[in-house]
Amino acid sequence: MNSLIRLLAVMQKELRQLRRDRITFAMIVGIPIGQILLFGYAINTDVRNLTAAVADQANTHLSRRFISELRQTQVLNIGEPVSSPEQLEAMLRSGKISVGVHIPHDFDRRVMDARPDAHLLVDGADPTILGVANQLVSMPIAFDTRPVPRVAERSLQVRPYYNPERRTAVNIVPGLIGVILTLTMMLFTAVAIVRERERGNLELLINTPVSTTQLMIGKVVPYIGIGLIQLALITAVGKLLFDVPIRGSIVELYVAAFAFIAANLALGLFISTVAKTQFQAMQVTFFILLPSILLSGFIFPFAGMPVFAQYLGEVLPITHFIRLTRGIMLREASLAEMSNELLLLFAFTAVAMTAAVLRFSRRLD
């Protein structure tokens, strides 16, 4: 009973302080909305409007029609025509264009025989652009002169599930929930204990009968509510602005988020017991945030990473959370089908929390 009163006292104190901390309060709402607008609008792996130029040395009816079809794909944004492939190379080098299209003199004849019709000069330094160029290569050119399209020769056909329009936001937003929660939750608790130490409150606290566990749990619980509010904000904005669906159970999404928030808060608390100053705590937080963005499958497909990086990614709670959110929101999967991911999050929480409680010293030496 007494321990419950103490736990509630710590929670109430945290909430009262939070209410008065306008900047933190603004961050709770501002970070999710700002990030989702930024990521939602800025990141687009479905590349369009690549800068391009055409050197049309054939200049025939057929070649002009070919160029106009290229324009219609909207993949290339073709500027003023140039006269030679050398000019295309120069523009590529200077960065004025990402793709150059070279149509040789004998274009009309090439269309008729087995040789390639034209050349694409591509800034292959960016694999994404190269990938788009490869899509262009398979573009069927259904000329009257050649009624059999090459596409019929393919042995595989792609049927895109879950995101047929290939909109990046659909893939980004579920992952973004993880990134935003990692940032805010870890940061809030990473500075929690350190701030009390810096302000001198800790010297008073550790001289009272409040136990370490009560202190830690009391500090964490209010933020679980805040994390869930952030989840509601992100999913709402995702739905309204980017039409990101939640196909599975909303309740299960919140259960997954609860486990993930707890994991990050516990990790933040652990950082808080290691760091000496708030500045250090923030540095460590960002040290963890970066791999959370890069190694979690948020931007780059997990399977494409080297095995070592995959192991690192598996250690991060966000990797498991992104699998859960994408599963629930996009593939209508149930938690039961992904129970091991959820259990891993709970296990992570237990380990981090135990480590934080053990590391926290009730003495000043």
Partner 1 sequence: MTSDTEYAIQARGLTRRFGDLVAVSNLDLDVPRAGIYGFLGPNGSGKSTTIRMLCGLLTPTEGSATVLGLDVTGNTSLLKPKIGYMTQKFSLYGDLTVRENLEFIADIYSYGRSGRNARIAELLADYDLEAQAKQLAGTMSGGQRQRLALASAVLHRPELLLLDEPTSAVDPRSRRDFWAKLFELSDAGTTILVSTHYMDEAERCHRLAILDRGVKVADGPPAELQQNTGMTIIEVLSDYPSRAQSLLAGLPEVRSVTQLGVRLRVLVPSHIDSPLELVSAVLRDSGFLAECKMVDASLEDVFVAVTRDGETSERAA
Interface residues with partner 1 (CB under 8 A) are 2, 5-6, 8-9, 12-13, 16-17, 20-21, 199-204, 206-210, 362-365
User: Please, which residue, 11 or 263, has the CB nearer to partner 1?
Assistant: 11
Cβ atoms of 69 and 41 closer than 8 Å: no
Please state the closest distance from residue 28 (CB atom) to partner 1, in A. Answer: 17
3 state SS of 193:
helix
User: Please, which residue, 66 or 188, has the CB nearer to partner 1?
Assistant: 188
The count of residues in the chain is 365
Q: Where are the alpha helices (DSSP H) in 275-316?
A: 278-294, 307-315
3 state SS of 47:
coil
CA angle 92, 97, 102 (to 5 degrees): 70
How are strands ordered across the β-sheet holding 50-56?
Answer: 76-78, 50-56, 99-103, 119-122
Please state the closest distance from residue 364 (CB atom) to partner 1, in A. Answer: 5
Please state the closest distance from residue 213 (CB atom) to partner 1, in A. Answer: 13
User: Please, which residue, 141 or 221, has the CB nearer to partner 1?
Assistant: 221
- Residue type at 21? D
Please state the closest distance from residue 199 (CB atom) to partner 1, in A. Answer: 7
End-to-end CA distance of the chain: 31
Please state the closest distance from residue 276 (CB atom) to partner 1, in A. Answer: 16
User: Please, which residue, 117 or 196, has the CB nearer to partner 1?
Assistant: 196
Which tokens hold the place of 111?
A: 């269309």
User: Please, which residue, 42 or 364, has the CB nearer to partner 1?
Assistant: 364
Task: Please name the residue that has the structure tokens 């049309």.
Answer: 56
